[in-house]
């Protein structure tokens, strides 16, 4: 990870943050919606077909294969060995997901609670069937209306940063406490957050995506997760303050409401546009016990834009 600020951050910065307070993006990109690749073909390899016309009355010449409506058992067994199970689906998904988690670990995610949550949530259930074969690759994928599901490495990295908030209980199974997520999208990150939080409020401004997330999350019966249709730039006052605030969309400034709704010892993680380069960086803001706000910028990221109002 690279940062132009000290890792401990700058104390007592002015809020809302001015653009020039955010340092220039570093080299590594976390989320890249442009990396979306078309759906791969998932399926079985066709069994070899050995067929040519023949007749009961005419014995075919030796060089012509016989028409065989049923294949000999020996060949069926050989064909079976050629069959590839579709990745990321059905019985195979647990194994593919475990390999995704191993890659996250190799990429630097260390908190076992985060790795377990990433292992538990079926990402392929949050994307269209045609994209399910790519669900465990480290890539963002389209979810409709020009929005994307975040890369697994971004989700894990941001949630791990939240777990490291000031005074967080190292052993707690719910290290995130009370969480506000801005940008529900398809609901994947909300499902991961819910495994590590006492309560999650997740807001989405696009009604069709809010409904889609509701549909995806129904089967999980996550009773500590509440979806809200609204403008996340206003935060969500009724459940404030929050121990963690996480944004899945980046704007030019941090909305003041997010800072107002951050509890003492709380942490906010959000992408923010860099005034100079035009890119985005990951911003961390901590509220100390004293109420003072401390912030630091982390690596370069690429999230969809934060927009105001509802659609
Ligand atoms: N959390 C998702 C990522 C969704 S992409 C995941 O699991 O991968 C970011 C989402 O933020 C988009 O759905 C977009 O519509 C939403 N968004 C942008 N601005 C918003 C705002 N002001 N309030 C609520 N949602 C917003």
Of 35, 153, 204, the residue with max ligand 1 atoms within 8 A of its CB, to mutate for a pocket test, comes to 204
Q: Is residue 183 in contact with ligand 1, taking CB distance under 6 Å?
A: yes
Of 249, 253, 254, 256, the residue with max ligand 1 atoms within 8 A of its CB, to mutate for a pocket test, comes to 249
Of 36, 181, 185, 190, the residue with max ligand 1 atoms within 8 A of its CB, to mutate for a pocket test, comes to 185
Q: Which tokens sit at 107?
A: 């990429």
Q: Is residue 123 in contact with ligand 1, taking CB distance under 6 Å?
A: no
Residue-by-residue DSSP string for the chain: ---SS-TT-EET--SSPPGGGSPPP-S--S--GGG--PPPP-SPPPPP-------SSSPPPTTSPPP-SS--HHHHHHHHHHPPPPTTSGGGHHHHHHHHHHHHHHTT---HHHHHHHHHS-GGGGS-GGGGGGTTSSS-EEEETTEEEPPHHHHHHHHHHHHT-TT--TT-S-TT-EEEEE--TTSHHHHHHHTT-SEEEEEES-HHHHHHHHHHHHTTT-TTEEEEES-GGG--GGG--EEEEEESEEBSS--HHHHHTEEEEEEEEEEEE-TTTS-EEEEEEEE-TTS-EEEEEEEEE--EEP--S--
Residue with tokens 């670990």: 105
The alpha carbon of 63 and the centre of ligand 1 are apart by a number of angstroms equal to 64
The closest-lying atom of ligand 1 relative to the alpha carbon of residue 188 is 7
pLDDT at 171: 82
Q: Which residues pair with 250 in a beta bridge?
A: 305
pLDDT at 187: 98
The closest-lying atom of ligand 1 relative to the alpha carbon of residue 209 is 13
Residue-by-residue DSSP string for 78-108: HHHHHPPPPTTSGGGHHHHHHHHHHHHHHTT
Pairing of strands 242-247, 262-273: parallel
Q: Which tokens sit at 93?
A: 């998904």
The CATH class of 94-305 is alpha beta
Residue with tokens 């999650």: 200
The alpha carbon of 52 and the centre of ligand 1 are apart by a number of angstroms equal to 57
The closest-lying atom of ligand 1 relative to the alpha carbon of residue 184 is 1
Q: Which tokens sit at 194?
A: 């819910």
Number of neighbours of residue 107 by Cβ within 10 angstroms: 12
Give the residue numbers marked as catalytic. Answer: 150
Q: Which tokens sit at 226?
A: 């509440």
Q: Is residue 251 in contact with ligand 1, taking CB distance under 6 Å?
A: no
227 close to 209: Cβ distance less than 8 angstroms: no
Q: Is residue 227 in contact with ligand 1, taking CB distance under 6 Å?
A: no
Q: Is residue 285 in contact with ligand 1, taking CB distance under 6 Å?
A: no
Q: Which tokens sit at 73?
A: 């058992």
- HSE of 21, CA atoms in CB hemisphere, 13 A: 20
pLDDT at 23: 38
The alpha carbon of 33 and the centre of ligand 1 are apart by a number of angstroms equal to 13
Domain positions in the chain are 94-305
Q: Is residue 150 in contact with ligand 1, taking CB distance under 6 Å?
A: yes
Q: Is residue 147 in contact with ligand 1, taking CB distance under 6 Å?
A: yes
In whole angstroms, give the CA distance from residue 54 to residue 225. 65
Q: Is residue 304 in contact with ligand 1, taking CB distance under 6 Å?
A: yes
Q: What is the pLDDT along the chain (311 residues), one digit of tens a residue?
A: 333 333 344 444 445 554 344 333 343 444 444 333 333 323 333 333 333 333 344 444 555 554 555 555 666 555 554 444 444 455 478 999 999 999 999 999 999 999 999 999 999 999 999 999 999 999 999 999 999 999 999 999 999 999 999 888 778 899 999 999 999 999 999 999 999 999 999 999 999 999 999 999 999 999 999 999 999 999 999 999 999 999 999 999 999 999 999 999 999 999 999 877 679 999 999 999 999 999 999 999 999 999 999 99
């Amino acid at each position: 990870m690279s940062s132009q600020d000290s890792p401990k951050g700058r104390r007592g910065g002015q809020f809302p943050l001015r653009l020039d307070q955010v340092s220039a993006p570093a080299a590594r990109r976390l989320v890249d919606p442009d990396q979306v690749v078309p759906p791969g073909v998932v399926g079985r390899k066709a069994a070899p077909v050995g067929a040519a016309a023949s007749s009961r009355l005419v014995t075919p010449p030796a060089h012509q294969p016989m028409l065989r409506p049923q294949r000999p058992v020996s060949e069926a067994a050989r064909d079976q060995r050629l069959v590839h199970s579709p990745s990321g689906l059905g019985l195979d998904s647990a194994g593919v997901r475990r390999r995704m988690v191993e890659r996250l670990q190799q990429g630097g995610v260390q908190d076992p609670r985060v790795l377990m949550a990433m292992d538990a949530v079926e990402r392929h259930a949050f994307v269209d069937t045609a994209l399910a074969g790519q669900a465990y690759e480290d890539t963002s994928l389209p979810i409709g209306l020009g929005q994307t599901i975040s890369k697994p490495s971004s989700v894990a990295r941001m949630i791990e940063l939240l777990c490291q908030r000031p005074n967080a209980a190292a052993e707690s199974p719910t290290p995130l406490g009370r969480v506000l997520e801005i940008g529900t999208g398809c609901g994947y990150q909300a499902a991961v957050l819910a495994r590590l939080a006492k309560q999650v409020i997740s807001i989405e401004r696009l009604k069709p995506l809010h409904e889609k997330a509701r549909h995806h999350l129904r089967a999980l019966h996550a009773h500590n997760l509440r979806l809200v249709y609204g403008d996340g730039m206003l935060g969500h006052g009724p459940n404030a303050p929050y121990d963690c605030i996480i944004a899945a969309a980046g704007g030019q400034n941090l909305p003041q409401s997010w800072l107002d709704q951050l509890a003492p010892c709380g942490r906010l993680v959000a992408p923010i546009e860099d005034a100079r380069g035009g890119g985005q960086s990951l911003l961390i803001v901590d509220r100390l016990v004293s109420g003072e706000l401390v912030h630091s910028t982390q690596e370069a990221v690429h999230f969809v834009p934060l927009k105001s109002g509802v659609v």
